[in-house]
Amino acid sequence: MSDNENNKFSSSQTAAETADKPNEQYSLSDDRRVKVLSPGALVAKRFFRNRLAVTGMVILILMFAFSFIGGLVSPYRQDQLFYRTDVQIKDYAGVVHNEEFRYTVNDPVLFKNIVQAQALKNIMAGSDTFTYNGTSYTIEKIADDVYAVSSGGNVVGLASKELVTSSTRDDVSFAFTEAAFRARAAGEGTFTADGKTYTLGEGDSITDAAGSEVAYISAYIVRPVMPDVFFSRDFKDQLIDAVESGQTSFTYTGEDGVTAEYILSYNATSKSWDIKQEIDTKVFDTYSSPSSEHWLGTDRNGMDMLTRLMYGGRISLIIGFVVVFIESFLGIILGGISGYFGGWVDGLIMRIVDIFYCIPSMPIIIIIGAAMDAANLPSLTRMMYLMLILGLLGWAGVARLVRGQILSLREQEFMTATEACGIRPSRRIFRHLIPNVVPQLIVYMTMGLGSTIIMEATLSFLGLGVRFPFASWGNIINDVNNTYVLTNYWFIWIPAGVLLLVTVLAFNIVGDGLRDAFDPKMKR
C-alpha cells in the first residue's frame, strides 16, 4: 500500500472515531484540560484539592464570622457591665464605753493637746492648779469625773468621762455642754444656754421648750462608719442595751419601716464593739457561671464572656493583619531595592536587616510598654503603637525573602527584555519583579499571621499589649494569673485559649496549603 493510501486510511479512521464520539467531555483531571487553565486556576485547583487546607480555610471563615459578625449580632457591648445583688456584712458603727477622760474644748489656743495632758496629770494627782508655758490654769471639780479647766477666769475646756451628745444633726455648743453638766451636778431640772431654756429629764435626756429631745448625757459613744449616717436616739438606746446585755446581734426597725439585722462583736484591741450590718449590695456580677443570659458566664469585671471573645477575636485578627501589612510593605520596598540594584545598596540594606535581626524584640517591647504605662496613654493609642512597633520589628524577614527571589528573577530573559525596552527601574521592580514574588509572600504572610497573633496574645497576657476596655484573646486569658480562677472558672480561659489555638493552627494549615499550591512541581 502506498503512502498516499496509508494517509487516506488514517484520516478516514480518525474521522470515524471523531464521529463515533461527538459529545466527548474533558474532566478536570485530564491533562488536556489542565493545560488550558490559567495559573490562578491551577493554584486554586491544587489548593482546593488539599482537604486539610480547605478545612483550615473553613475554620478561618468561621472565625472571621464569629469575630466581625458576632459582635454586631450580640445584644451586649464589649465593655458592658452586669450587676447582681448580694447580701454583704459591712462595718456599720462602733460603740465605746468611755472609761477615760475626754475633752471638750472652748479655747483651742489655751487648751491644746499638751495642756490637756497636763490637766489630766494634775486631776489624777488631786491638784487644783498648774502652770504651763507661763500660763496659770485652775481645775474645778463640777461632779464626779467632770472637771472644768479655767485660765484668767474663763473656762477653756472640760474633762469628763461622759459626753453631751446631740440627738439631732446639729452639734451642741460648749456653753450648752457646761451648763448641762453643772445643772445635773446641782440637781437642777432646768438650765439656760445660748439664750434658751432646757429641761434635764429622766435618763439624762435634755429637751427644749417644745418638749423635743435635743441632747442627752451618756458614757457610751456611738459613731457611724460613714460620716453621712445619722443615728436616732432610739437606735442608740437599743444598741447600748444590746451591748450591755452581751447580745451578739439585734434587730431594729427604723422610722421608715425597714427592718435590719446587726451583728455585734467586741474588739479587745480597741476596747470597743464593732457593729456590722447585713445589707443587700449591688456588686459586679463577677465570674458568673454560664447561663441562658450569659452563655459563657462573666469575667472578673462582670462582662459577658462570649461578647468579649467576639470583640477580642476582632482585635487580635486586626492587629495580626495590620502588623503583617506593615512588615510586608517595608520588606517589599527594601528587599526589592536591595535585590535589584545589588552592590553597595544591597550591602547597606542587608546590614540594616542584620541589625534588626539582632534587636532583642521582647525586652524592647517591655521597655516601651513600661514607658506607655508611665505616659498613661489611652487604650486605642496604645494599641496603635503596639501594631506599629511589631511591624517595624518584623520586616527584616520579608526583606530577605524578597531580595533572594529578585536576585534570581532579575537574571531571567524577561528582565533583559524590560531593560532593552527602556522601562525605568522602579517599574521593573514593582511591575515585573514583585508580582513574581507574590506567591511566596502570600505563603509567608499567611503563616506569619499566626505568629503575630501569638505574639500579641503573649504581650496582652503580660499586660504589655491591648488594655481595658478593649478585649483581645490574650488579655482575656490574663485572668488565669489567679490560681483560684485557673482551677475553678474554666469558662474564663479555656474558650479564649481554644479560639487562639484553632485560629493560629488554621492559618498555618492554610499557609502550608498555599505553599503546596504555588509549587510548580506539585503533582497535577
Instruction: Determine the average pLDDT of the residues in 124-152.
Output: 91
Task: Indicate if the pLDDT at residue 316 is higher than 60.
Answer: yes
* 25/112: higher pLDDT: 112
* 226/137: higher pLDDT: 137
- Nearest Cα residue to 42 out of 56, 61, 24, 29: 29
Cell 458592658 belongs to which residue?
80
Q: Looking at 27-31, 254-258, 401-405, which range is the least confident one?
A: 27-31
Task: Indicate if the pLDDT at residue 488 is higher than 60.
Answer: yes
Average pLDDT value for the chain = 83
User: In this predicted model, what pLDDT tens digit does every residue of 200-221 receive, in sequence order?
Assistant: 988 889 999 888 899 999 988 8
- Residue 10's pLDDT band (cuts 50, 70, 90): very low
DSSP per-residue letters across 211-262: S-EEEEEESEEEEESSTT----HHHHHHHHHHHHTT-SEEEEE-TTS-EEEE
Instruction: Determine the average pLDDT of the residues in 256-269.
Output: 85
Task: Indicate if the pLDDT at residue 340 is higher than 90.
Answer: no
- In this structure, the number of other CB atoms found within 10 A of the CB of residue 502 comes to 15
Q: What does the DSSP 8-state code read for residue 132? A: E
The pLDDT of residue 24 is 55
Sequence-distant (≥ 6) Cβ neighbours of residue 497 within 8 angstroms: 473, 477
The pLDDT of residue 60 is 92
CA atoms of 516 and 523, how far apart (whole Å): 10
Q: Is the peptide bond before 378 cis (omega within 30 degrees of 0)?
A: no
- Residue 472's pLDDT band (cuts 50, 70, 90): confident
Cell 527584616 belongs to which residue?
396
Which grid coordinates belong to 355? Answer: 541589625
Lay out the sheet containing 196-200: strands in order across: 163-166, 213-218, 205-207, 196-200, 190-193
Task: Indicate if the pLDDT at residue 16 is higher than 80.
Answer: no
CA atoms of 429 and 409, how far apart (whole Å): 10
Q: What does the DSSP 8-state code read for residue 395? A: -
Instruction: Determine the average pLDDT of the residues in 274-302.
Output: 87
The pLDDT of residue 27 is 53
Q: Looking at 384-393, 411-420, 468-477, which range is the least confident one?
A: 411-420
Region for residue 192 given its phi and psi (left: phi exceeds 0; alpha: psi -120 to 50; beta: otherwise): beta
The pLDDT of residue 493 is 86
Measured distance between the N- and C-terminal CA atoms of the chain, rounded to whole angstroms: 43
CA 465, 470, 475, 479 torsion: positive or negative? positive
The pLDDT of residue 477 is 83
Q: What does the DSSP 8-state code read for residue 288? A: P
Domains parsed from the chain with CATH numbers? 41-82+294-518 (1.10.3720.10)
- Nearest Cα residue to 70 out of 471, 480, 448: 471
Sequence-distant (≥ 6) Cβ neighbours of residue 462 within 8 angstroms: 366
DSSP per-residue letters across 85-99: EEEEEEEEEEEEE--
52 to 18, 56, 509, 520: CA distances (angstroms): 41, 6, 7, 20
* 465/275: higher pLDDT: 275
CA atoms of 511 and 517, how far apart (whole Å): 10
